[in-house]
Chain A
């Protein structure tokens, strides 16, 4: 059983292995999920009814010994944006699925008598009743599932907010310790999963056949070069930035650059932000004897992750990423790591995407439900969500929905999805990406922050609107390729600067697939993926008017730079009109 497509029909509770069609064989991750969603999901369907499908696909090299390659894409039509969605996660689940010979799982139809659990192992596929682990928090559920199925299994599932079929529900994967802390968070795919009647997938890869290598020598040569680059580069090496401080190292830099959105995108810099920086957090983790560094999956050489705990090392939460710390912290006027940690724990437990959850709380603060900076109040809102009160259900549907309910006009969202931790008025290229990616506001879709803020020369002025269309387009194409390989996006810090690393990355892909891609093919492969995604959105009813930032960002200036978003609509439309 290798290179298989596993089709799971929830209407009849049947499963079948199919040969992957030739046209899909060289794809992986995002390329695979987006191609299948485009092919099989009617763009105008209701995301929570039976015509939508949920697609899981590990990357091209995932499941091999390639470094930092345990990534998986989940795709479907998003209940948050109404468009196509690919949400990417790093987890051992990705590797286990690939080693089981499954290139893609397509979950279709709906099982009405909820909930089922799907088990996949080297013997085959079966369903089990998921009721004992439904309607409870995911920390308890994952512990229970590991007791039932063994510590070695990998799990993905959807939480209480998924069961509510709320638009801010992610799909949650285990970290190597079994904590429900690795997320395909964005776009509400947890609700798509729950609405199929599927609550969990449990994998056991013992005795799995592993991933075929078309050209082992090429693969080994490539992964060696890539590993060398990753262990050499200041950002990715052992003891380097990501390894020492995690993604949260961004807090201080972006705050100094005046681009860290705070108090619901009202200001870009506040000196209190350093209280929740990667540096402050790493020090505190050391004090508490938590874990840092840590890998989100076995075989990551960068290891940007960690395990945050309560004081005294109690009650592990999992990683506190930059985006989560920012959204649940400074964006809500909260500058306290313990409060942020507990809010993040609530998100993990309920199955909420942290970026959307923090943005929603900040909108609720602006709407007068509670004061900015009120951490206790924010935790109480999480309880309302858990209890499924009317208020809780409104908040579980994301920032835009909450904004409408509360009469808030300053909602930082594009295509219904809340913005991450870079204010587009201070980093213009990021605004171009937020506006134009088919995903809704998404920083990973085209991370222009690197050349705008983080480059050595600083030739790209983050406050200028010049040239940002081309910059965003090229990075979006390159990203769509990386999201398909199964490599973590953070490998690009090293491959971007060290040519041999990039060469190695491509060789490793060729070694697995038997292709002869060169660096010149990357943008073309990415372009094809984005074209499919844009076509889906077009058929779902999106127009270029949806490729815009919220009005308040065009009209209101952001201190300290006092800049508004002044990239013209012509420049935005030019991104994909090539």
Chain B
């Protein structure tokens, strides 16, 4: 089983194919083993500054989240950010 990485916005360009259902989301199927989200980001050469939010299996996560085979990882770039930070100040 692989990790399915779903790339939105300008990150789409990192993928060589798009998903079959919509034809608009960039898809990378990764066979490699990644321990955490941050390892995956390193592999994709993405840094925190460029990212708005990451959703793994439908849950909003931080970069320290452990990854497992079969995970669905959606990565949204800064220009698709919709954030309120103040609740956690």
Interface residues, chain A, with chain B CB atoms under 8 Å away: 234-235, 239-241, 244-245, 249-250, 252-253, 256-259, 268-275, 277, 279-280, 335, 426, 450-451, 453-463, 492-493, 496-497, 560-561
A241 contacts B81, CB within 8 Å?
A: yes
| CA distance in complex: A287, B22 (Å) | 18
Query: Which residues of chain B have C-beta atoms less than 8 A from A458's C-beta?
Result: 59-62
Question: B82: which of A250, A259, A270, A271 is its contact (CB, 8 Å)?
Answer: A250
A256 contacts B88, CB within 8 Å?
A: no
Query: How far is the CB of B7 from the nearest CB of chain A, in Å?
Result: 11
Query: Which residues of chain A have C-beta atoms less than 8 A from B21's C-beta?
Result: 270-272, 274
Give 8 pairs: A residue, B residue, CB < 8 Å, sorted on A: A234-B81, A234-B83, A252-B8, A253-B82, A256-B6, A279-B24, A492-B84, A497-B84
A497 contacts B22, CB within 8 Å?
A: no
Going nearest first, the 7 A-B pairs with the smallest beta carbon separation are A271-B21, A258-B58, A274-B22, A450-B84, A458-B60, A451-B87, A256-B74
Query: How far is the CB of A31 from the nearest CB of chain B, in Å?
Result: 23
Q: With contacts A272-B22, A454-B53 known, is A459 near B8, CB below 8 A?
A: no
Number of inter-chain CB pairs below 8 Å: 120
Q: Considering the complex, give the chain B residue whose CB is closest to the CB of A278.
A: B80
Known: A272-B22, A455-B85. 19 other contacts (CB 8 A): A234-B79, A249-B80, A250-B82, A252-B74, A253-B53, A257-B58, A271-B25, A274-B19, A275-B22, A275-B23, A280-B22, A454-B53, A455-B83, A456-B85, A457-B62, A458-B60, A460-B87, A493-B82, A497-B85
| CA distance in complex: A269, B59 (Å) | 12
Query: Which residues of chain A have C-beta atoms less than 8 A from B74's C-beta?
Result: 252, 256
Query: Which residues of chain A have C-beta atoms less than 8 A from B19's C-beta?
Result: 271, 274
Task: Check: B9 CB closer than 8 A to any chain A CB.
Answer: yes
Which of A460, A463, A496 has the most chain B CB atoms closer than 10 A to its own CB?
A: A496
Query: Which residues of chain B have C-beta atoms less than 8 A from A279's C-beta?
Result: 8-9, 24, 80
A253 contacts B84, CB within 8 Å?
A: no
Which of A256, A257, A458 has the most chain B CB atoms closer than 10 A to its own CB?
A: A256
| CA distance in complex: A273, B55 (Å) | 16
Question: A235: which of B8, B9, B82, B86 is its contact (CB, 8 Å)?
Answer: B82
Query: Which residues of chain A have C-beta atoms less than 8 A from B23's C-beta?
Result: 275
Query: How far is the CB of B43 from the nearest CB of chain A, in Å?
Result: 20
| CA distance in complex: A76, B83 (Å) | 33
Task: Check: B52 CB closer than 8 A to any chain A CB.
Answer: yes
A280 contacts B24, CB within 8 Å?
A: yes
Q: Considering the complex, give the chain B residue whose CB is closest to the CB of A245.
A: B80
Query: How far is the CB of B53 from the nearest CB of chain A, in Å?
Result: 7
Query: How far is the CB of A120 from the nearest CB of chain B, in Å?
Result: 38
Q: Considering the complex, give the chain B residue whose CB is closest to the CB of A258.
A: B58
Q: With contacts A277-B24, A279-B24 known, is A241 near B8, CB below 8 A?
A: no
Query: How far is the CB of A264 from the nearest CB of chain B, in Å?
Result: 20
A234 contacts B52, CB within 8 Å?
A: yes
Q: Considering the complex, give the chain A residue whose CB is closest to the CB of B23.
A: A275
Q: With contacts A272-B21, A275-B23 known, is A235 near B60, CB below 8 A?
A: no
Question: A455: which of B8, B76, B87 is its contact (CB, 8 Å)?
Answer: B87
| CA distance in complex: A89, B80 (Å) | 25
Q: Considering the complex, give the chain A residue whose CB is closest to the CB of B22.
A: A274
| CA distance in complex: A249, B61 (Å) | 19
A457 contacts B88, CB within 8 Å?
A: yes
Query: Which residues of chain A have C-beta atoms less than 8 A from B25's C-beta?
Result: 252, 271, 274
Query: Which residues of chain B have C-beta atoms less than 8 A from A270's C-beta?
Result: 21
| CA distance in complex: A123, B15 (Å) | 63
A497 contacts B86, CB within 8 Å?
A: yes
B82 contacts A241, CB within 8 Å?
A: yes
Query: Which residues of chain B have C-beta atoms less than 8 A from A249's C-beta?
Result: 80, 82
Which of A249, A252, A280 has the most chain B CB atoms closer than 10 A to its own CB?
A: A252
A273 contacts B58, CB within 8 Å?
A: no
B88 contacts A459, CB within 8 Å?
A: yes
Q: With contacts A256-B74, A275-B22 known, is A454 near B83, CB below 8 A?
A: yes
Query: How far is the CB of A287 from the nearest CB of chain B, in Å?
Result: 14
Q: Considering the complex, give the chain A residue whose CB is closest to the CB of B58.
A: A258
B79 contacts A244, CB within 8 Å?
A: yes
Q: Considering the complex, give the chain A residue whose CB is closest to the CB of B84.
A: A450
A257 contacts B84, CB within 8 Å?
A: no
